[in-house]
Amino acid sequence: DLYAEFGRIDGVIHGAGIIEDKLLVDKSPDSFARVVATKADSVFLLSRHLRPQSLKFLVLFSSVAGRFGNPGQCDYTAANEIVNKMARFLDARWPCRVVSVNWGPWAREGMVSPALERQFAERGVRLIDPEQGVAALLAEIAGGGRGEVEVILGDGPWGAVEEEACAR
């Protein structure tokens, strides 16, 4: 038990997640459940076992896929949006900073397949350089304020994509 050994936990960064991309018609219920459970259930577990009064921050890694979607990622999209909503729920109840970082796609790291990289390029989305991503995360932890629960970190046409989705 970390609390027994150290007395407190100052901050937590949660980055669990897997992808098993397939169109819904080809996806098994077990695969769907595995993808959602890895990301979302682990956030629920953390929320039950952390002591928020000792925390300075809780950072949950989400994805722009939760907001904008990607082909074959209905489960991953749902899991990320659950994480976003859980961040809002915890932020309203916990005294520490809670933020859900909706990452754009990373270069050389993470979950971007060559096919997905091509799709992003066609949509004008640039991959995040790992060093710049880490710097952006540290800046967000240091400089972000309470109530700024969902943030997007990444270089893409997110505003235009959201406007297009809302117009449909």
Give pLDDT tens digits for 117-134: 888 888 888 889 899 999
Sequence-distant (6+) residues with CB within 8 A of 22 are 31, 72
> Which range, 74-83, 110-119, 144-153, has the best average confidence (pLDDT)?
74-83
Domain spans in the chain, listed from the N-terminal domain onward: 9-167
Instruction: Give dist(CA 138, CA 14) in Å, integer.
Output: 14
- Specify the pTM: 0.87
Instruction: For residue 144, give Cα distances in angstroms to 18, 85, 130, 152.
Output: 27, 18, 20, 12
Class of domain 9-167: alpha beta
pLDDT at res. 167: 59
The rounded distance, in Å, linking the Cα atoms of 87 and 99 is: 6
- pLDDT digit string, tens, across residues 70-88: 788 999 999 999 999 999 9
Contacts of 147 (CB under 8 A, 6+ apart): 91
Percentage with pLDDT > 70 across the chain: 92
Span 48-58, mean pLDDT? Answer: 95
